[in-house]
C-alpha cells in the first residue's frame, strides 16, 4: 500500500515488541530458569514472539477502533497471566497450571502470604499496558493508524509461522520429546515460552477430561499385574501389632529432615522430636513425593498409596473419583475417622475430597476458637490447635483414626516474640532465618500434645505417626541453605533435602532408626498392616515399610528417584557415597520402574479406574499374612 509509512510504528507492532521484551525481562528477573548454553538463551529470547504475533495479529482483521481496544485488552490479559505466574512462582517456585488457576478459594486464603509476595514495584509487570494506553489516548506522531490489506495479513502470519517453527525446531534439537514428557514445567517454559505453555496446558486439561470418558476397566489389568508383582508380604512380627488401637496421624507443615538432630545458633531445632524418635521407629531416608498440590498432595499420597499428579492438585482435579483410601478401609473395620485442621474447610477442596476419601468428620475452622491473640500467619497457632483438638479427640468413638494438620510452620514462617523458643538463623535470607523458630515452635506444640494425650489416657492406646508434608525451603534458597549446611546445594543435595521426617510410635515397641529408602506412598500399607488389615488385593503403589522384603527405592513426582546407592535427578545419576555425578547408565535399570510407577498411577487417576475395581469391600480384619 502506498500510504504505508514505514517510518511509523503501528500500535500492534509496538504492543508485540513491548510484551515480548517485557516477557524476556521477566524470565530473567522473576524466574529462576537455568540456561546452559547460548542456544537455550536464544530459545528463551524468541519463545514469546510467535504466540504474541498470533494472538495480537487477530487484530489485523478488525477496524481501527476495535483493533486498538482489542490490543489493549489483550495486552492487559497477557500481562495479568504473566503476573499471576510471577506471584505463583514466588510462592511455589513453579509455573501456573490451569487446575491451580481455578483454585481461587486457595488464592483468596493466602492472606498474609500474598501481602508478603506483593510489592509496589510489581506495577512494572503492567508497564507495557500503561504505555499502550497512553499511546491510544495521546496519539503521538510516531504511531501510525491504518487499515491492513490481505497481503499485509498474509505476510504477518507467514512470519509468525516461520518464527514458531524456528522456535520448535531449535527446541527439538535442545530437548527431544519435549512435549511427550512433561514432568518438568521449567523445561517446557524454557523451550516453548510461558504463553504457549499455557495453551499446551489447556490441551492437557481437555485431554484428561476425555481420558476419563474413554477409560474402561481393561486398562486395570496391566496396572493390577504391576502392583501384584511389587507386593511385599508384611513383617510377621508387626502385622496386627496395633490391632484395634487408635491412629493419630500428624502432618507437620513444611518440615524437612535436615532439622532433626540439628542445631541453629548452637540450639536444638527439634528437641522434642529428637527425644521422641528414640522411643519410636524413625525413618531417616523417607521422602516427600508431592508436587503442586503441596499439603493436599501429601494427604493424597499417604492415604491412597497413589502418586499425586505432576500438574495441579488431585484434590481439585479429581475429587470426584472413586478411591479406596485409608479412612474408607478403616470405616469398614469399625474405626471412626476424622481429619482435624483449623482452616477453611474448602482450602485445597478438602471438604469435597474428604468425602471421596471416606472421612466421617472434618473438624475445620468452625470447630475451633480462632482469635487474633491465638493466631499467627495462616491461622490458629499449633499449640492452641492441639490443645483445642483434645476435646474433639475425647468425644470421638474409639478406636479412631485422626489426622492432624499443623499450620504454624508455613511460609512466610511468622512467629510472635512470645513463641520464639530459639532465635532465627543469621543470614540475609529472611525466609530461611525464620524457618527455624517456627519449626521449633511446632516441635514444642507436639511435645505439649503428647503430654496431653498421656494425661487423657489416650497415649497408650494410640499409634502416633508423624511425618513432614513437603519441603519448606524451596530451591530458591539454595545459596543460604548451602551456607547453613556447609555444603553447596547441588541437584544431588537438593534431592536429598526432599527427605521429610517419618516417626512411627507404637506403644510397647522400642525405638529404632530405619534407613530404608522410602516415601509417603508407603504409609498406607504400613498403617493397615500394623492394624492387622490385609492389603494384598489393594491397588497400592507403596510397600509396607516394615516388610523384610521392602526394597530401597522411591520415586519423586518430577521423575527423580532414589535407591540404596544412587540418586537420579535432572537426567543425571549421582553416587550417594560421594555425591558425585556418575555414568547415567548406572541408574538406567531403575529408570523404567520409576517411569512405570508414575505412569500407572496417573492412569488410575486420569481414567478414574478404581471405579471399575471389584475390591471395593476390603475384608474385615483378617489374620491372613500371605
Ligand atoms: C492449608 C495448609 C497449607 O490448609 O494445609 O497448605 P500448603 O500451602 O502447605 O499446601
Ligand atoms: Mn503444607
What pLDDT, on the 0 to 100 scale, is given for residue 178?
66
Q: Output 91 or 440, whichever has higher pLDDT.
A: 440
Sheet containing 281-283: give its strands across: 361-363, 336-340, 400-405, 246-252, 462-468, 502-505, 281-283, 512-514
Going by pLDDT thresholds of 50, 70 and 90, the confidence category of residue 130 is: very high
Task: Give the Å distance between the CA of 365 and the centre of ligand 1.
Answer: 14
Report all structural domains of the chain as residue ranges with CATH numbers, in order of start. 9-211 (no CATH), 236-548 (3.40.720.10)
What does the pLDDT look like over 20-76, one tens digit per residue? 999 999 999 999 888 888 999 999 999 999 999 999 999 999 988 899 999 999 999
Euclidean distance between CA atoms 342 and 388, whole angstroms: 10
295: annotated active-site residue: yes
Q: How many Cβ atoms from other residues are within 10 Å of residue 617's Cβ?
A: 10
Q: What average pLDDT does this structure show over 297-314?
A: 94
DSSP label of 231 = -
Task: Give residue 183's pLDDT band: very low, low, confident or very high (50, 70, 90).
Answer: very low
Contact 1, 149 (CB under 8 A): yes
DSSP 406: -
Quote the cell numbers at residue 185: 514445567
Spatial CA neighbour of 224 closest among 521, 541, 533: 541
Tens of pLDDT, residues 207-265 = 777 888 889 889 999 999 999 999 999 999 999 999 999 999 999 999 999 999 999 99
pLDDT given at position 313:
85
Lowest mean pLDDT among 140-154, 440-454, 474-488: 140-154
255 alpha carbon – ligand 2 mean position (Å)? 9
Residue 80 has pLDDT above 70, yes or no: yes
Q: Identify which of 107, 86, 105, 104 has the alpha carbon closest to the alpha carbon of residue 95.
A: 86
Which residue in the list 295, 326, 337, 495 is annotated as catalytic? Answer: 295
Note whether 380 and 407 are within 8 A (CB): yes
Closest CA to 600 of 228, 206, 286: 228
Higher pLDDT pick, 464 / 117: 464
CB within 5 A of ion ligand 2: which residues? 253, 294-295, 469
Q: Which residues pair with 518 in a beta bridge?
A: 286
Atom of ligand 1 nearest to the CA of 347: 4
In this structure, the strands spanning 572-575 and 375-376 are: unpaired
Q: Which of 116, 348, 351, 470 to mutate to test the pocket of ligand 1 (most atoms within 8 A of CB)?
A: 348
Q: CB within 6 Å of ligand 1 — which residues?
A: 253, 294-295, 341, 343, 347-348, 405, 407, 410
Q: Is the pLDDT of residue 5 over 70?
A: no
Amino acid at each position: 500500500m502506498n500510504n504505508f509509512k514505514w517510518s511509523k510504528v503501528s500500535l500492534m507492532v509496538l504492543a508485540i515488541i513491548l510484551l515480548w521484551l517485557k516477557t524476556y525481562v521477566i524470565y530473567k528477573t522473576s524466574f529462576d530458569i537455568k540456561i546452559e548454553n547460548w542456544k537455550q538463551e536464544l530459545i528463551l529470547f524468541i519463545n514469546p514472539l510467535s504466540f504474541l504475533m498470533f494472538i495480537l495479529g487477530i487484530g489485523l482483521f478488525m477496524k481501527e477502533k476495535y483493533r486498538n481496544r482489542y490490543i489493549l485488552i489483550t495486552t492487559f490479559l497477557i500481562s495479568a497471566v504473566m503476573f499471576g505466574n510471577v506471584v505463583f512462582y514466588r510462592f511455589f517456585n513453579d509455573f501456573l497450571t490451569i487446575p491451580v488457576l481455578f483454585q481461587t478459594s486457595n488464592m483468596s486464603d493466602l492472606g498474609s502470604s500474598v501481602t508478603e509476595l506483593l510489592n509496589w514495584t510489581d506495577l512494572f509487570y503492567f508497564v507495557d499496558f500503561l504505555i499502550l494506553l497512553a499511546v491510544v489516548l495521546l496519539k503521538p506522531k510516531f504511531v501510525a493508524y491504518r487499515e491492513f490489506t490481505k497481503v499485509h495479513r498474509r505476510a504477518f502470519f507467514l512470519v509468525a509461522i516461520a518464527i514458531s517453527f524456528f522456535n520448535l525446531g531449535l527446541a527439538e534439537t535442545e530437548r527431544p520429546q519435549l512435549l511427550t514428557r512433561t514432568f518438568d514445567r521449567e523445561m517446557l517454559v524454557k523451550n516453548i515460552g510461558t504463553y504457549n505453555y499455557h495453551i499446551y496446558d489447556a490441551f492437557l486439561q481437555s485431554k484428561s477430561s476425555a481420558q476419563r470418558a474413554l477409560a474402561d476397566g481393561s486398562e486395570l489389568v496391566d496396572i493390577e499385574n504391576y502392583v501384584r508383582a511389587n507386593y511385599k508380604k508384611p513383617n510377621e512380627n508387626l502385622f496386627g501389632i496395633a490391632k484395634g488401637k487408635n491412629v493419630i496421624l500428624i502432618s507437620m507443615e513444611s518440615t524437612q529432615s535436615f532439622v532433626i538432630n540439628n542445631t541453629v545458633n548452637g540450639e536444638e531445632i527439634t528437641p522434642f522430636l529428637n527425644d521422641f524418635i528414640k522411643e519410636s521407629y524413625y525413618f531417616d531416608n523417607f521422602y516427600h513425593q508431592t508436587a503442586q498440590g503441596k499439603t493436599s498432595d501429601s494427604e493424597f499420597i499417604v492415604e491412597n498409596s497413589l502418586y499425586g499428579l505432576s500438574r495441579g492438585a488431585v484434590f481439585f482435579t479429581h475429587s470426584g473419583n472413586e478411591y479406596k483410601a485409608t479412612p474408607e478401609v478403616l470405616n469398614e473395620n469399625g474405626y471412626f475417622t476424622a481429619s482435624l485442621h483449623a482452616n477453611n474447610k474448602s482450602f485445597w477442596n478438602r471438604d469435597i475430597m474428604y468425602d471421596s476419601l471416606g472421612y466421617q468428620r472434618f473438624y475445620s475452622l468452625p470447630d475451633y476458637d480462632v482469635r487474633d491473640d491465638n493466631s499467627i500467619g495462616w491461622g490458629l497457632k499449633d499449640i492452641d490447635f492441639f490443645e483445642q483438638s483434645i476435646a474433639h479427640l475425647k468425644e470421638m468413638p474409639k478406636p479412631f483414626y485422626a489426622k492432624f494438620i499443623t499450620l504454624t510452620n508455613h511460609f512466610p514462617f511468622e512467629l510472635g516474640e512470645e513463641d520464639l523458643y530459639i532465635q532465627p538463623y543469621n543470614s540475609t535470607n529472611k525466609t530461611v532465618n525464620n524457618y527455624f523458630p517456627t519449626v521449633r515452635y511446632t516441635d514444642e506444640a507436639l511435645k505439649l500434645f503428647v503430654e496431653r494425650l498421656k494425661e487423657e489416657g489416650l497415649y497408650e492406646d494410640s499409634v502416633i505417626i508423624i511425618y513432614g508434608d513437603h519441603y519448606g525451603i524451596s530451591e530458591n534458597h539454595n545459596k543460604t541453605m548451602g551456607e547453613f549446611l556447609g555444603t553447596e546445594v547441588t541437584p544431588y543435595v537438593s534431592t536429598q533435602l526432599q527427605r521429610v521426617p517419618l516417626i512411627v510410635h507404637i506403644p510397647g515397641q522400642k525405638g529404632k532408626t530405619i534407613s530404608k529408602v522410602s516415601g509417603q506412598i508407603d504409609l498406607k500399607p504400613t498403617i493397615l498392616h500394623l492394624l492387622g488389615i490385609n492389603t494384598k488385593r489393594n491397588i497400592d503403589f507403596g510397600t509396607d515399610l516394615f516388610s523384610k522384603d521392602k526394597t530401597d527405592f522411591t520415586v519423586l513426582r518430577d521423575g527423580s528417584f532414589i535407591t540404596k546407592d544412587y540418586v537420579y535427578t535432572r537426567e543425571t545419576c549421582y553416587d550417594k557415597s560421594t555425591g558425585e555425578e556418575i555414568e547415567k547408565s548406572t541408574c538406567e535399570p531403575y529408570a523404567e520402574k520409576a517411569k512405570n510407577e508414575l505412569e500407572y498411577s496417573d492412569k488410575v487417576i486420569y481414567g478414574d479406574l478404581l471405579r471399575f475395581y471389584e475390591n471395593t469391600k476390603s475384608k474385615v480384619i483378617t489374620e491372613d499374612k500371605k
